Amino acid sequence: MNGTSGDGAPGPRRFPPGFVWGASTSAYQIEGAAAEDGRGRSIWDTFSHTPGKVRGGDTGDTACDSYHRLDEDLRLLGELGVGAYRFSVAWPRVQPGGSGRVNQLGLDYYRGLVEGLRERGIAPVATVYHWELPQALEDRGGWAERDTAWRFAEYAQLLANALGDQVAMWITLNEPKQAAHQGYRTGTHAPGKTDYALAAAATHHLLLAHGLAVEAMRGALPGRVPVGIALDVHPVRAANEDALEAAAAVDAEHNRIFLEPVLHGSYPDAARAELLPPAELIEPDDMAAICAPLDFLGLNYYCPYYVRLGDWDDLRLGESPQPGHPGVVNYVPPELPRTNMGWIVEPEGLYDTLRALDREAPRLPLYITENGCAADDYVTPEGEINDFERVDYLHGHLDAAWRAIQDGVNLAGYFVWSLMDNFEWARGYQRRFGVYFVDFSTQRRLPKRSAAFYSRVARHNVLPAPEVSLAPRGTEPRGEPQVSPT
């Protein structure tokens, strides 16, 4: 039975043969060993060591200590039964100053990782940039400087030369939106700048870096190894017809500002001018480079945004003003559950996003490069982690992915965020996203119930019918009331 059971209830959902099941992490969030074997400093080392920037003063100095526990983490991946592992390379580990000298010990670490994956039959999927800009480049202006895009292309080419014979798929950038927006506009991520002009320049230079890297990597890679990018997309829902125009503007500013250049070579008209790169920064060949054809598009999906029109002086619990749009309010429909990040749980948002991307870029292979949920996990006296909330979240989103495939979307794989609990950026270690629990005092890894669930899905290529869920639905959200992750 595929899709429905005899009594009409949802039955098991079989995914297409060859569908890629993976798990995701990023270097700064798991590796630790921040000052070992010649690793240089990144903007996240500086930021996390700046008082008040990261919750509880947490840093990635040790993180999950994955740098020293490579064998154990490879074993976890084998145990989970995934066919692919998405990790990122820490730029300052392989090129400590962001240009010039290469640190062979750093490259050796990643070679060990990709070879270890290959030995276990797991495809290595490498992200070239998951937010770790070498501090030396930030000191010269960071992403607000055009030169950083060229340095990035050189670094990407260096990786293609060093690891290109082993890596199955390459992702140039992870979520350039968060790098530009939180890094240079809201200041909530490294390097912590709060300047609209810098953020607009960073937007363009990140995109240019992607385009230049695609070209440089294609020249260096053997055969036709797929190269793509991972973008975070949040569908923007309008409360009613009056809010449709506002929703379109928010969509332009949060989603289309990266999707449109990459897919079509232009910036969206509906975005406010102050968010867009000024014309003098855009050189004649830039937009053509940025929209170099992709082999796939990676989608990081967590939650939708909801907007309504309303008075900023009369906000309800959990609502926030939409910056730059007086009278536009971010809100959470009360019937929708939220995770402890404050993020709305709405699998239909994933379905809608996949359908929309498929319409916009017909037949371009899509991968869900991140999807997952933070929860207040704890170990019971019996040593179990019963994360029903996460199982429920994953089930709902995998069901949405399956439905999108049935409706013709060219979705080729899914990577859960994350393999294990890790350093959740400005939220530190307080937010757990892993399917493996990490006890940060001992570095012990323990499978959560979601690991067993996900492993079963990955091994059988089938999403089982939903079990009775114990997760609270539609109850008052816990954690900080906040609509968007920014």
**Minimum CB distance to ligand FCB, residue 281 (Å):** 25
Selected range binding ligand FCB among 92-100, 171-179, 196-204, 386-394, rule: CB under 6 A: 171-179
Residues in CB range of 346: below 8 A, 6 or more apart: 303, 304, 336
**In angstroms, how far apart are the furthest CA atoms of the chain?**
65
Strands 444-447 and 436-439 come out as antiparallel
Residue whose tokens read 């290109």:
164
Shortest reach from residue 175's CB to ligand FCB, in Å: 5
Kindly identify the residues of this chain, within the stretch 279-308, that bind ligand FCB according to CB under 6 A.
300
Looking at beta carbons only, is 26 or 103 nearer to ligand FCB?
26
| Binds ligand FCB by CB under 6 A, chosen from 31, 45, 370, 387 | 370
Q: At closest approach, how far in Å is the CB of 367 from ligand FCB?
A: 14
By CB under 6 A, which span of 68-76, 283-291, 417-425, 473-481 interacts with ligand FCB? 417-425
The residues, any chain, with a CB within 8 Å of residue 484's CB and separated by 6 or more, are 234, 254, 305, 320, 330
Under the criterion CB under 6 A, does residue 377 sit at the interface with ligand FCB? no
Our answer to whether residue 370 is catalytic in this structure is yes
Q: Looking at beta carbons only, is 233 or 271 nearer to ligand FCB?
A: 233
Q: Which of 162, 371, 424, 453 binds ligand FCB (CB under 6 A)?
A: 424
Is the CB of residue 279 less than 8 Å from the CB of residue 267? no
Minimum Å distance from CB 296 to ligand FCB? 17
Which one, 103 or 371, has the nearer CB to ligand FCB? 371
Q: Which is nearer to ligand FCB, 157 or 353 (CB)?
A: 353
CA–chain centroid gap for 475, Å, is 27
Tell me which of 42, 95, 103, 174 binds ligand FCB, using CB under 6 A.
174
* Tokens at 383, concatenated: 């040593």
Full DSSP string of 104-158: HHHHHHHHHHHHHHHHTT-EEEEEEESS--BHHHHTTTGGGSHHHHHHHHHHHHH
Question: Closest by alpha carbon to 247, among 299, 196, 304, 315?
Answer: 304
Q: Please, which residues have CB within 8 angstroms of residue 310's CB and are 6 or more apart in sequence?
A: 319, 327, 328, 329, 331
Taking a C-beta distance cutoff of 8 angstroms, is the pair 99, 151 a contact? yes
Residue-wise DSSP of 195-240: -HHHHHHHHHHHHHHHHHHHHHHHHHSSTT--EEEEEE---EEESS
Distance CA 394, CA 390 (A): 6
Pick the catalytic residue from 138, 175, 260, 346. Answer: 175
Paired strand residues for 220: none
In the bound state with ligand FCB, the residue whose beta carbon lies nearer, of 243 and 434, is 434
By the rule CB under 6 A, 87 interacts with ligand FCB:
no
**Contact between 178 and ligand FCB (CB under 6 A)?**
yes
- Using CA atoms of 398, 482, 184, 275 in order, give the dihedral in degrees to the nearest 10: 80
State the binding string over 118-157 for ligand FCB (x if CB under 6 A, else -). Answer: ----------------------------------------
CB proximity list for 472: less than 8 A, separation 6 or greater: 337, 389
Select the residue interacting with ligand FCB from 132, 175, 286, 319 (CB under 6 A): 175
Closer residue to ligand FCB, CB minimum distance, 15 or 87:
87
138, 260, 346, 370: the catalytic one is 370
Shortest approach of ligand FCB to residue 383 CB, angstroms?
26
Shortest CB 83 distance to ligand FCB, Å:
21
Reply yes or no on whether 260 is catalytic: no
* Bond into 26 cis (ω within 30): no
Residue pair 404/389 in contact by the 8 Å Cβ criterion: no
Give the shortest CB-184-to-ligand FCB separation in angstroms: 16
Whole-number minimum distance, CB 340 to ligand FCB, in Å?
12
Tell whether residue 182 is a contact of ligand FCB (CB under 6 A).
Answer: no
Stretch that binds ligand FCB, among 48-56, 173-181, 184-192, 445-453 (CB under 6 A): 173-181
Residue 230-259 contact track with ligand FCB, rule CB under 6 A, x = bound = --x---------------------------
Per CB under 6 A, residues contacting ligand FCB are 26, 29, 174-175, 178, 232, 300, 370, 417, 424-425, 433
What positions carry a catalytic annotation?
175, 370
